[in-house]
């Protein structure tokens, strides 16, 4: 695997405490200069980088919750909150616990954790009035939320909070242990819901009814599914809120895509977000292989926590869920490419696009030969070893794909949070060397102090939102968690 050197973080000679410049602090997604070369990364020590990351999380903390980003995403997103808690656990166990509690307070009566928990004020579209989840029988009374879900990475956060509490000892240990024991059944209900409501036929594959549920909204993974979505109403507002903050529209989904996103929300609302009715009545129904892998590994991690709490029965149930999803993921692997594939459940067609979602087996494991092949692929020339990459990190879509778009959201850019998740999974499977290389490259990329949502893979230009909370959070974990070198 190609690893550029030297590492800007590790090799920074002078331990300069970085200051955030006017230019970087001014705007998220400040007017883009397409094709502009990024400025050289400032020298920054690991301690300086960690301090900046903590500062960003502090800045995005409303007290109520930590927003996913300061302006573009002024609410709490489900999987963002899990990553945020992972980062927070390194600096404040109580604050990490609060974040997870805020999410749990919005849990639906079915067990679903909603993809957005809205704050009282909103500068985001579609906001709580558009979602109007009060029409749903299962929606919580105490919080305004969206009516769909996101990948269930939360058990990883619970594990991290528990481990951090134990490492720190004293009151942190007591709090983390009490929190875990007290909330275990709520997390269990969430993973059970995924198994029951989103895999009703027990294929071992999580069904999604909106690209937003995957967390990879406009990835080429969903192009075939969206081809069947034909809005009968134009629900696009006169002004796209997101484009106020990311002014280069090529970095975001298009208007045509947004019309489909809003149409699906409308369809769900018509059936009052009833999970069975959504399956039949919404135009989009895909088996999401990456989310299935997250469900597998999440269930497994929660089962390990269950063991420690003496919850043997729940742990066995979670393990059987994990093996069902693992089998499902492995059943999708293409013998030709070695990548796992999503499936359009309306047409039965496999999705063959080479995206980061194809590495689902690296997350959940289950077949050593498949995992070994994926490790080679990941390090190879279509992915981290692509000769044009500025940093040797996996792009969201392979540059060899005809649908690759280097500046457009999930269609090409590198996502720091994905790098973290891949790295975490590699360590879990003992692939420490590759994990270490990805961590080092990612920290080098993030030494620009932009804490961007995603990066142009060839130039390293920061794109989308700046000061994104999960980007800051994973930096904290990487720098402050005791990892083997």
Residues 100 to 119 in contact with ligand 9WN, rule: CB under 6 A: 115
Residues 174 to 203 in contact with ligand 9WN, rule: CB under 6 A: none
Residues 199 to 228 in contact with ligand 9WN, rule: CB under 6 A: 212, 215, 217
Instruction: Please state, in angstroms and as integers, the Cα–Cα distance from residue 21 to each residue in 18, 42, 271, 450, following that order.
Output: 9, 11, 49, 10
Among 28, 80, 257, 317, binds ligand 9WN (CB under 6 A): 80
Q: Is residue 454 near ligand 9WN by the rule CB under 6 A? A: no
# residues contacting ligand 9WN (CB under 6 A): 9
Q: Residue 208 and residue 291: Cα distance in Å, rounded? A: 9
Phi/psi for 296 (5° steps) reads -65, -50
Nearer to ligand 9WN by C-beta: 146 or 332?
146
For the CB of residue 484, give the shortest distance to ligand 9WN in the complex, in Å: 29
Q: Is residue 29 near ligand 9WN by the rule CB under 6 A? A: no
Catalytic residue among 99, 453, 461, 477: 453
Instruction: Please state, in angstroms and as integers, the Cα–Cα distance from residue 207 to each residue in 275, 358, 360, following that order.
Output: 11, 16, 15
Query: DSSP E strands: which ranges in 198-349?
Result: 206-208, 286-288, 343-344
Angle between helices 289-308 and 154-168 (to 10 degrees): 40
Q: Which residues pair with 343 in a beta bridge?
A: 287, 350
For the CB of residue 210, give the shortest distance to ligand 9WN in the complex, in Å: 9
Sheet holding 76-77, edge to edge: 76-77, 116-118, 144-145
Nearer to ligand 9WN by C-beta: 8 or 74?
74
Residue carrying structure tokens 């909603």: 114
Catalytic residue among 28, 80, 99, 217: 217
Nearer to ligand 9WN by C-beta: 210 or 343?
210
- Which residue lies nearest ligand 9WN, judged by its C-beta? 215
Taking residue 456's Cβ as centre, other Cβ atoms within 10 Å add up to 24
Q: Residue 456 and residue 191: Cα distance in Å, rounded? A: 34
Residues 50 to 79 in contact with ligand 9WN, rule: CB under 6 A: 68, 73, 77, 79
The answer to whether the CB of 360 falls within 8 A of the CB of 219 is no
* Catalytic-residue membership of 217: yes
Nearer to ligand 9WN by C-beta: 81 or 188?
81
The residues annotated as belonging to the active site are 217, 453
Residues that bind ligand 9WN (CB under 6 A): 68, 73, 77, 79-80, 115, 212, 215, 217
């Amino acid at each position: 695997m190609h690893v550029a050197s030297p590492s800007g973080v590790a090799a920074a000679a002078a331990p300069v405490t970085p200051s955030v410049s006017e230019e970087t602090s001014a705007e998220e997604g400040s007017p883009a200069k397409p094709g502009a070369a990024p400025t050289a990364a400032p020298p920054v020590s690991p301690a300086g980088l960690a301090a900046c990351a903590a500062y960003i999380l502090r800045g995005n903390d409303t007290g109520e919750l930590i927003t996913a980003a300061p302006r573009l995403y002024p609410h709490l997103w489900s999987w963002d909150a899990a990553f945020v808690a992972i980062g927070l656990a390194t600096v404040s166990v109580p604050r990490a616990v609060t974040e997870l509690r805020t999410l749990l307070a919005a849990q639906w009566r079915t067990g679903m954790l909603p993809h957005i928990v809205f704050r009282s004020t909103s500068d985001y579209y579609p906001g709580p009035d558009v979602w109007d989840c009060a029409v749903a029988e299962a929606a919580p009374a105490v919080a305004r939320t969206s009516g769909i879900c996101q990948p269930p990475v939360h058990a990883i956060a619970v594990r991290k909070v528990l481990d951090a509490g134990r490492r720190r000892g004293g009151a942190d240990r007591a709090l983390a242990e009490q929190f875990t024991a007290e909330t275990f059944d709520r997390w269990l209900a969430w993973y059970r819901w995924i198994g029951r409501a989103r895999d009703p036929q027990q294929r071992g594959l999580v069904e999604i009814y909106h690209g937003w549920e995957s967390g990879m909204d406009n990835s080429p993974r969903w192009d075939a599914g969206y081809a069947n979505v034909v809005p009968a109403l134009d629900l696009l507002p006169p002004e796209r809120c997101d484009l106020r903050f990311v002014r280069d529209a090529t970095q975001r989904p298009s208007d045509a895509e947004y019309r489909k996103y809003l149409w699906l929300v409308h369809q769900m609302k018509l059936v009052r977000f009833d999970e069975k009715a959504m399956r039949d009545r919404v135009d989009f129904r895909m088996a999401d292989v990456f989310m299935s892998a997250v469900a597998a590994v999440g269930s497994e991690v929660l089962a390990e926590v269950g063991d420690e709490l003496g919850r043997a029965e729940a742990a066995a149930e979670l393990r059987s869920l994990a093996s069902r999803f693992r089998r499902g993921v492995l059943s999708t692997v293409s013998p030709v490419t070695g990548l796992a594939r999503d499936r359009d459940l309306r047409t039965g067609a496999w999705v063959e696009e080479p995206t980061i979602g194809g590495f689902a087996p690296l997350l959940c494991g289950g077949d050593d030969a498949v995992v070994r092949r994926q490790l080679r692929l990941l390090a190879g020339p279509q992915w981290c070893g692509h000769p044009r990459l500025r940093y040797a990190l996996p792009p969201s879509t392979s540059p060899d794909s005809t649908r690759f778009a280097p500046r457009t959201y999930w269609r090409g850019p590198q996502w720091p949070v994905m790098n973290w998740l891949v790295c975490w999974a590699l360590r879990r499977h003992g692939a420490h060397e590759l994990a270490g290389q990805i961590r080092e490259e990612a920290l080098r990329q993030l030494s620009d102090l932009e804490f961007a949502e995603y990066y142009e893979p060839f130039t390293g230009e920061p794109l989308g939102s700046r000061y994104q909370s999960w980007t800051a959070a994973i930096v904290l974990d990487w720098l402050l968690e005791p990892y083997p070198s």
